[in-house]
Amino acid sequence: MKLVLLRHGESVWNKENRFTGWTDVDLSEKGILEAQAAGKILRENNYQFDIAFTSVLKRANDTLKYVLEELHTKLPIKYSYKLNERHYGALQGLNKDEMKQKYGEEQVQLWRRSADVRPPELSLDDKRYPKFDPKYKDLSDEELPRAENLFDTLKRVVEYYESDIKPELLKGKDVLIVAHGNSLRALIKYLENISDEDIMNVEIPTGKPYVYELDSNLKILNKFYL
């Protein structure tokens, strides 16, 4: 069976070079075209899916919508905050180049790419803290991040993969996951057993389907970008 991972198309904050995280921003015009192109290449290669998974952020949801339109299909869709982008804490909304000037390129690279370094945390009364977003009203304080490193993101992504996604694959279903750069990096790290050091160099491009071909025991037989 097939498991296809897709990072959402370029968002308006990707375009503006801002840290986005859990901030709910729209796709840019380029991002819409990337999402449509991803759907088109999947259709041209005769990909069909039984179920799709995505985050609760609209840049991923809209990417999935455009892909399904190109595939001329409707699917059961499951949404979970556990597939959200990594929470960038107090960096959210700030320009990456300006942060490099302020903190140095090495520090910003650690915040962006390392597995174990968290960015500066939000205060509990900061309006960017997820408890102020109605989407997360049912989550406990322990589930609401003030900032996350890749390990934090990995923990929730793997929990969701094991509880919800893996059972569908074990039924022989073809699965599409539309999520974010860091949540997909976390999942790829887990599935491919990539080291903490090597994951720093893994970059997931926007709008390019990453395909796993799996055997019945979910062993990876092949992996490639379409």
CATH code, 92: 3.40.50.1240
The reply to whether 48 falls in a domain is: yes
pLDDT at 121 over 90: yes
The reply to whether 93 falls in a domain is: yes
- Is there a contact between 48 and 174 (Cβ–Cβ < 8 Å)? yes
pLDDT at 134 over 80: yes
Give the per-residue pLDDT at 24. 95
Q: Which residues are catalytic?
A: 8, 85
Report the C-alpha gap between 117 and 104 in whole angstroms.
15
Number of domains in the chain: 1
Question: pLDDT-based confidence at 210, cuts 50/70/90?
Answer: very high
The reply to whether 152 falls in a domain is: no
pLDDT at 114 over 80: no
User: Which residues lie closer than 8 Å to 154 by C-beta, 6 or more apart?
Assistant: 115, 186, 189, 190
The residue with tokens 């793997």 is: 158
pLDDT at 216 over 80: yes
pLDDT above 70 coverage of the chain, percent = 100
Report the C-alpha gap between 93 and 109 in whole angstroms.
17
* Domain residue limits at 25: 2-146+158-225
Question: pLDDT-based confidence at 115, cuts 50/70/90?
Answer: confident
Burial of 40 (0-12, 13-18, 19+ CB in 10 A): middle
The reply to whether 151 falls in a domain is: no
The reply to whether 132 falls in a domain is: yes
The reply to whether 169 falls in a domain is: yes
Give the per-residue pLDDT at 30. 96
Length of the chain as a residue count:
226
pLDDT 10s digits, 172-203: 999 999 999 999 999 999 999 999 888 878 88
The reply to whether 153 falls in a domain is: no
DSSP 11: B
Mean pLDDT of 77-100: 93
> Pairing between strand 175-179 and 2-7?
parallel
Q: Looking at per-residue confidence, does 3 or 102 come out higher?
A: 3
pLDDT 10s digits, 149-164: 989 999 999 999 999 9
